[in-house]
Structure 1
Amino acid sequence: MSYISNFAAPFHGQRAAFNSADTQLKFPSLASIQSRPAIRIARPFFQNDTFSISRMAVGRSSRVGRQGRLRMALVNERLGHGRNVSDQSSVLAYELVQGKLVRWSSMVVLDRSIPEPPTAVLLHGILGSRKNWGTFARRLAQEFPTWQFVLVDLRCHGDSASIKKRGPHTVASTALDVLKLIAQLRITPRVLIGHSFGGKVVLSMVEQAAKPLPRPVRVWVLDATPGKVRAGGDGDDHPAQLISSLRKLPMEVSSKRDIVNALVQEGFSKDVAQWVVTNLRPTAAAGTPSSSFSWVFDLEGISQMYQSYEETNLWEVVENLPRGVHVNFLKAERSLHRWALEDLQRIHAAEESAADEGGGVEMHVLEDAGHWVHADNPDGLFRILSFSFKGVKA
């Protein structure tokens, strides 16, 4: 595997370039992206069983017999032999994790003899960073060596916090950032994976891309619904309260342990507190001792993003899917508070509607997992997501 961490060269509204004319997806101009024309999708066939959440298990769904119809379009591409380069982006900070057979970079894409490998984009949730996906992406790259995986720090988060963004800080503006980044990198993702807040971001990307796609794209929305956000009911996961508590803390602190203890006293679990302090960085230069730490995120911007997450409703996207897009919802078995019966029924109705038109909504359940699906049950999540990467040739 190879890794490229990237940062900063201006985005000039480039269109994505691809290996053959019949498989080109030309991104619209940024103005047209924001105008949101509708999209349609090629739909799979579903089993006509009565919906039962209790019957769905790890790696299973309410649809069967899909191998032939649902597999992403196989593109007759030859694996390129370009260099791995450290390109830079002023859009978002990101890391490129490549399988050992990938020899492609965005710098060689204009050479049509060097085709783009299949690419997946992975997005974190509120108060997270691209590092949340690091271990999981490396595992995917090892199992699927012809694929590459783009891990993104969303605006106001991680290393992207130092890249100043205009408000409003919303789900839609966050999605537009990622669309700009993949256009700048000249890639056409075949898989989009978003956890929690990132799940709504990938749905918003589908909404804003706004045109039929030349080859199918799989979208994974992990433990998030398209509409109403229901905060944690287990005492450990209340993002709005967590953001509020963090805003009371100083920007520079002397001890991570003190912050963990302070958050535990506020009623948050130790696991959540320890995860939050991964957003602290030493204030001293690298290689020198540091007696203090500072937060890397933009908490004011994140507060706006979470409010937008609660208010954004993307059911219309799911119920009127673009051609070329297949949406997969994954519910964590123990994440009961996030999923109301009406959400499950509405997704099931979208499944049936999509099946009638030949395409593209599916529900999965990850057993033995709470909201932190990639930490609670990475093996189960790997098995479920692996279907998206099988049968796609480079």
Structure 2
Amino acid sequence: MLHHSVLKSDVEDALNVFICHGILGSGQNWRGFARKLQEIRSLNIVLMDLRCHGRSPAKIPPHTVDACSRDLFKLSGAVGAPDIVIGHSFGGKVALASLRYLNPQQVWVLDSPPGPLSDKPEDRHEVSRVISALNSIPLPLKKRQDLKDLLVSFGFSEMIGNWMTTNLKRTEDGFVWKFDLMGVERLIKDYFKQDLWSLIETKQESEIHLVRAQNSDRWSQSILERLKKQSATKIHTLPNSGHWVHVDNPNGLLDIFDRFLVRSV
């Protein structure tokens, strides 16, 4: 079963929420935002490490978006079925795909286009470039700072360097990855291939909300035009934010949730 933590509400009839992190992330990345979300709603929030990430086991292949969504179904047997599933980036497609196995009241997709994405070198997003760089880093490392220095020397920002140091764990020989890098590579390749437009464009029993970050590089003009033509999904634009929505504009994201997140009866 996925490693997880539950942030319990004091309210008896609080709704259950699953939050799915992005690639190379972990449930811990969303703890601060989850606490703020609990200030505006009575929610039990489940923060999990998706397969091949954090303290969750790599599990048996195939490592795919669909396999991750089936992991959510198995997790629901232990913590209760979710009323709301929220997913960011890679986790956004996992949240959408979970509609095949779960029946939440709402699904929230945060800055994650529903269709296939190009994996050509010239089109690759920053996380894909990070994964390629990680394959060239010799492990174990003597200290966390060594990883940051290497990534910055490769041309990545200090923010990316600091973020990736949270993915290291100490062993007797030095620092190594918390995640299964080979498994993560398979997950991101499947993420790029997945076409979930049918779930966005067809009326579902669950209410679907898609949040696009205003300054994100994930959205081509053709994707935006296609979104305009559909009426089954509610589309929101988060201003003053790049891809890292809960970091770039957490208050703006909270405002969207405050206005549209389903309320307990």
| Other-structure match for 1:153 | 49
- Verify: 1:333 aligned to 2:214, yes or no: yes
Runs of 4 or more above 4 Å deviation? 230-233
| 1:18-39 Cα distance to aligned partner (Å, 9 max, x none) | xxxxxxxxxxxxxxxxxxxxxx
CA positional deviation for 1:143: 2.9
CA positional deviation for 1:207: 2.9
Q: 1:269 aligns with which of 157, 161, 177?
A: 157
| Other-structure match for 1:132 | 29
Take 1:195 and 1:153, find their aligned partners in 2: how far apart are those partners? 13
- Aligned residue runs from structure 1 range 124-203, under 5 A: 124-144=21-41, 146-160=42-56, 163-185=57-79, 187-203=80-96
Q: TM-score, normalised by structure 2?
A: 0.92
Structure 1: gaps (5+ residues): 1-90, 103-115, 285-290, 355-360
Q: In structure 1, give the amino acid aligned to 2:28.
A: K
| 1:178-209 Cα distance to aligned partner (Å, 9 max, x none) | 11101232x22121110000000011101344
CA RMSD of aligned residues (A): 2.2
CA positional deviation for 1:224: 0.7
SS of residue paired to 1:198: helix
| 1:119-169 Cα distance to aligned partner (Å, 9 max, x none) | 11101000000011100111122332x321011100000010xx2411110
Take 1:328 and 1:200, find their aligned partners in 2: how far apart are those partners? 12
Take 1:305 and 1:268, find their aligned partners in 2: how far apart are those partners? 22
Q: Kindly indicate whether structure 1 or structure 2 has the higher relative contact order, using CA contacts under 8 Å at least 6 residues apart.
A: 1
Q: In structure 2, give the amino acid aligned to 1:184.
A: A
Take 2:222 and 2:108, find their aligned partners in 1: how far apart are those partners? 20
Tell me if the contact between 1:125 and 1:196 (Cα under 8 Å) persists in the aligned partners.
Answer: yes
Take 1:344 and 1:172, find their aligned partners in 2: how far apart are those partners? 25
Take 2:157 and 2:86, find their aligned partners in 1: how far apart are those partners? 26
Tell me if the contact between 2:3 and 2:49 (Cα under 8 Å) persists in the aligned partners.
Answer: yes
| Other-structure match for 2:145 | 257
Q: 1:279 aligns with which of 167, 186, 203?
A: 167
- Verify: 1:246 aligned to 2:134, yes or no: yes
SS of residue paired to 2:7: strand
Query: Percent of aligned pairs with the same residue?
Result: 36
CA positional deviation for 1:230: 5.3
CA positional deviation for 1:341: 1.9
CA positional deviation for 1:232: 11
SS of residue paired to 2:230: helix
Q: In structure 2, give the amino acid aligned to 1:322.
A: Q
CA positional deviation for 1:367: 0.8
- Verify: 1:101 aligned to 2:11, yes or no: yes
Aligned residues: 264
Q: In structure 2, give the amino acid aligned to 1:350.
A: Q
CA positional deviation for 1:228: 2.5
Q: In structure 2, give the amino acid aligned to 1:99.
A: S
Tell me if the contact between 1:236 and 1:267 (Cα under 8 Å) persists in the aligned partners.
Answer: no
Take 2:259 and 2:8, find their aligned partners in 1: how far apart are those partners? 18
| 1:283-332 Cα distance to aligned partner (Å, 9 max, x none) | 25xxxxxx832211000000000000101111112222322x11111111
Q: In structure 2, give the amino acid aligned to 1:328.
A: H
SS of residue paired to 1:175: helix
Structure 2: gaps (5+ residues): none
| 1:325-347 Cα distance to aligned partner (Å, 9 max, x none) | 11111111111x21112212222
| Other-structure match for 1:367 | 239
Q: Alpha carbons of 1:350 and 1:236: their partners in 2 closer, same or farther (altered >3 Å)?
A: closer
CA positional deviation for 1:389: 4.1
Tell me if the contact between 2:26 and 2:48 (Cα under 8 Å) persists in the aligned partners.
Answer: yes
Q: 1:382 aligns with which of 234, 254, 262?
A: 254
Larger radius of gyration: 1
Take 2:53 and 2:245, find their aligned partners in 1: how far apart are those partners? 20
CA positional deviation for 1:248: 1.7
Q: TM-score, normalised by structure 1?
A: 0.63
More helix by share: 2
Take 1:164 and 1:317, find their aligned partners in 2: how far apart are those partners? 27
SS of residue paired to 2:151: helix
Take 1:143 and 1:263, find their aligned partners in 2: how far apart are those partners? 38
Tell me if the contact between 1:334 and 1:369 (Cα under 8 Å) persists in the aligned partners.
Answer: yes
Tell me if the contact between 2:58 and 2:183 (Cα under 8 Å) persists in the aligned partners.
Answer: no
